[in-house]
Chain A
Amino acid sequence: SQKIEQNSEALNIQEGKTATLTCNYTNYSPAYLQWYRQDPGRGPVFLLLIRENEKEKRKERLKVTFDTTLKQSLFHITASQPADSATYLCALEEYGNKLVFGAGTILRVKS
């Protein structure tokens, strides 16, 4: 099954800077990859989906890249704000219509 690695250390950045989070996977390249946001005490919320034939996807201040050669996805938040502080989860599709999630990376944006 897929193994996903996300940076276990929290990412601390200053407001207004670009936050970059990394998701690495180890096995086969999935047909698509998703990013979710999770706030403390709440369920994850979907942010973006990128397919294997898409190099980049954007939504407002969010940008996701997908490099199947490196087996890596990068998630960028530009002009970050304190309200962007949360845990960000990467998820890959697995056979049988399932998702495999990474453990997530905590982002803290300081004003």
Chain B
Amino acid sequence: DAGITQSPRHKVTETGTPVTLRCHQTENHRYMYWYRQDPGHGLRLIHYSYGVKDTDKGEVSDGYSVSRSKTEDFLLTLESATSSQTSVYFCATTPSTSGASDTQYFGPGTRLTVL
């Protein structure tokens, strides 16, 4: 398994507070992704990164920002959490140098509850 960890694994927060989720990988993979998973919607891409300081938006990026200052770390920030952002968040990486045509390796997920 690719060495992908996520922290925290569980978090409960209140509406309006900032939240940062961390994804750490030990595989030196170039591409990293943040998804959210909700019942009936499956995995939806929030943001992804194709290198240090290189990021792009996904399908559901509103209300989220990301940063990647090192190859191994990809941070997802909710600037002002809302109840609609209650979800399970997954980080993924791929060893492909182009990002395409390759499998993605997923972290264990972070369950976020916004009250």
Contacts and interface: CB of A to CB of B under 8 A. Distances in A.
Contact of B101 (A32, A46, A89, A96): A32
Contact of B100 (A4, A42, A97, A100): A97
Interface string A81-106: 00000000101010011111111100
A8 B40 contact: yes
Interface in A24-81: 31-32, 34, 41-46, 49, 51
Contacts of B99: 96-98
Contacts of A111: none
Q: Which bucket holds chain B's interface residue count?
A: 20 to 34
B45 A43 contact: no
Interface of A: 1, 4, 8, 31-32, 34, 41-46, 49, 51, 89, 91, 93, 96-104
26 contacts: A4-B42, A8-B40, A31-B100, A31-B101, A32-B101, A43-B90, A43-B106, A43-B109, A44-B90, A44-B104, A44-B106, A45-B106, A46-B103, A49-B101, A51-B101, A89-B42, A91-B104, A93-B100, A96-B56, A96-B99, A97-B99, A97-B100, A98-B58, A100-B45, A103-B41, A103-B42
